[in-house]
Amino acid sequence: MQTVYEAAGAIDGLRRLARAWHARVLDDEVVSHAFRHGFHPQHVDRLAAYWAEALGGPPAYTAAFGDETSLLRIHSGNGVHEEMDQRAIACFDQALSDIGLAAGSPLRQTLHDYFAWATTTAMARYPRSAADVPAGLRIPQWSWNGPQP
């Protein structure tokens, strides 16, 4: 069976999605707040590599940029931000349309479910402090059936 990574167009498809999502969030008055202090110049490539690894592709993010712990520490300690999370998910759904994924397709639903879970669960797990993030975490894996053990 084809992985979600493969169905999404491998790294090139996920890079297109990351580029579309990044453009959407920079234009959103609430979500763009997270980027007002700047962002890594390779943010889109890093994001695509992270998604690729999480969705069944090669471990390029881990090999080049760090593990789940390092990523969560970047995103932690900012308090609870449910409105921003919901708007980031809405931007993701718009980005799925921007890259031409048809509404109702299994791939679109799987990518939406992954992003919504990652945003509201994984990335929101440590709102108080980046120091709360344990060392040695691995990037969670996601398949057509949801999160994998």
Superfamily of domain covering 4-147: Globins (1.10.490.10)
Domain boundaries, the chain: 4-147
CA–chain centroid gap for 42, Å, is 15
pLDDT of residue 125: 87
Of 1, 3, 27, 24, the closest CA to residue 13 belongs to 3
d(C-alpha 123, C-alpha 55), whole Å: 16
10-residue stretch averages of pLDDT, the chain, 149 residues long: 96 98 89 65 91 97 93 77 89 97 94 96 86 94 95
pLDDT of residue 145: 96
CA–chain centroid gap for 148, Å, is 16
pLDDT of residue 17: 98
d(C-alpha 99, C-alpha 102), whole Å: 9
pTM (two decimals):
0.90
pLDDT of residue 36: 65
